[in-house]
Structure 1
Amino acid sequence: MKVVGITGGVGSGKSEVLRILEEKFNCGIIRTDDVARDLCEPGEESYKLIVKAFGEEILDLEGYLDRPKLASIVFNDEGKLQVLNECTHPQVYDWVRKKVREWRTEGQYSMIAVEAALMEQLKEMGVCESLWYVYVKPEIRRERLRISRGYSEEKMDSIFASQLPEEVFLNGCDVVIDNNLDIENVENQLKQLCKS
């Protein structure tokens, strides 16, 4: 059972690619952002580590992580951001490795796709045999973000500036999925990729 990593910038269409893989190609999907969020729930491993590292003042009245407060603490502080990442990333990687082993044993899927915004995270997990980059021209990404999320030009400029340059993805991934045209075109590409 092949395990692929899927990455791409905001607005590239990763979610659409994952939906097609899940619905049409019997692919097991792991979204690392969702895993990270779940592991930060009260009682979970990342939650405990974050509270230990930053103190109970980062909790809201119900005992959940106060994400805006936590974000303001690590914003512009590389050291604190590093501490936060150390409280979350290893737990996410362990969870993904266990889930991949479990799904391989069960054999219910034809393939597994692990989605992450950062290519380096996919490499660090060590479970992906191939990395797929969902590519869209910047002007098309902007148009999609404007329509689907209502983002302003300033917000998009800020997002694009914080992401790695496209060359890093293009050079670091084995497969480029061109998502500049329509869904049918993407489906055809995925059909070829799932055969190989």
Structure 2
Amino acid sequence: MIKIGLTGGIASGKSTISKILKGLGAKIIDADIEAKAALKPNAEPWQLLIKEFGKEILKNDQSIDRRKLGNMVFGDKQKLNKLNSIVHPFVIERIKGKIAYMEQKGDIKAVVLDAPLLIETNLHNLVDEVWVVDVDTKTQISRLIKRDKYNEEQAKNRLKAQLSQEERLKYATAVIDNTGGRRHTREQVTKLWNNRVEELN
């Protein structure tokens, strides 16, 4: 079983590529889903986050409002580091457990770890290859404004809070250009799958 780390900046199109890989037969571990589990009531990080950031980050159902928390920490390096130090260890343990379970099953060709912070959290050490989704900054900003209803300044702050694409590309085993249409992206991903996954299996 080959372990692939899929990463890229915010609004680079990782989810689209993840869906293509799932269609080709990969098992997907979505780091964002694992992070959401950390924000559920009574999860260990949930209690620590309330202690650190206050009850104003809670929704009516007592889960943590990601948007409120995000607005509170982005642009403030110290708060962002604190948030990451609370959430990341929990997420990493969950991911390690899922990878171990899939390895034991023995009938899986590839597991794809879809993680925006693959490099920053050292999750790249858990995978065999790193596939980086590449897209220009202008496209990312326009996608963020359209998708998440950010204004331009908020979108730029989100990008600034992340690792630069230049730094991310240093870790890449493969690069997927996602500035073109879906067909172009699908062709690249299918070719990579055939060359890397099918060949190894």
TM bucket normalised to smaller: 0.7 to 0.9
Cα contact 2:5–2:113 (8 A) shared by 1: yes
106 and 121 in structure 1: CA distance in 2 versus 1, 3 angstrom threshold: farther
CA distance in 2, matches of 1:55, 1:153: 26
SS of the equivalent of 1:126 reads helix
82 and 113 in structure 1: CA distance in 2 versus 1, 3 angstrom threshold: same
Q: Which residue of 2 aligns with 1:114?
A: 113
Amino acid of the residue matched to residue 129 of structure 1?
Answer: D
Alignment of 1:171-186 (within 5 A): 171-186=170-185
Identify the range of structure 1 (7-16 vs 92-101) with the bigger mean alpha-carbon deviation.
7-16
Cα contact 1:119–1:169 (8 A) shared by 2: no
Alignment of 1:150-189 (within 5 A): 150-189=149-188
State the TM-score, normalized to the length of structure 1. 0.81
Cα contact 1:8–1:14 (8 A) shared by 2: yes
Ranges in structure 1 where 5+ consecutive residues have no aligned partner:
none
Cα contact 2:6–2:112 (8 A) shared by 1: yes
SS of the equivalent of 1:134 reads strand
Alignment of 1:87-126 (within 5 A): 87-121=86-120, 123-124=122-123, 126=125
CA distance in 2, matches of 1:82, 1:160: 16
109 and 179 in structure 1: CA distance in 2 versus 1, 3 angstrom threshold: same
Q: Which residue of 2 aligns with 1:22?
A: 22
CA distance in 2, matches of 1:145, 1:57: 27
Q: Which residue of 2 aligns with 1:54?
A: 52
Amino acid of the residue matched to residue 151 of structure 2?
Answer: S
SS of the equivalent of 1:173 reads coil
RMSD of the TM alignment (CA)? 2.8
CA distance in 2, matches of 1:72, 1:179: 27
CA distance in 1, matches of 2:85, 2:79: 10
SS of the equivalent of 1:5 reads strand
Identify the range of structure 1 (64-73 vs 157-166) with the bigger mean alpha-carbon deviation.
64-73
Identify the range of structure 1 (166-175 vs 142-151) with the bigger mean alpha-carbon deviation.
142-151
1:29-75 alpha-carbon deviations (Å, 9 max, x no partner): 11112111112211223224434x53874555644335566557656
Between Structure 1 and Structure 2, how many residues are aligned?
Answer: 194
151 and 95 in structure 1: CA distance in 2 versus 1, 3 angstrom threshold: same
Residue 152 of structure 1: how far off its partner (Å): 3.5
154 and 174 in structure 1: CA distance in 2 versus 1, 3 angstrom threshold: same
SS of the equivalent of 1:172 reads coil
Residue 175 of structure 1: how far off its partner (Å): 1.1
State the TM-score, normalized to the length of structure 2. 0.79
Residue 110 of structure 1: how far off its partner (Å): 2.1
CA distance in 2, matches of 1:169, 1:69: 27
Residue 4 of structure 1: how far off its partner (Å): 0.9
Cα contact 2:11–2:140 (8 A) shared by 1: yes
Residue 89 of structure 1: how far off its partner (Å): 0.5
Ranges in structure 2 where 5+ consecutive residues have no aligned partner:
197-201
Residue 184 of structure 1: how far off its partner (Å): 2.1
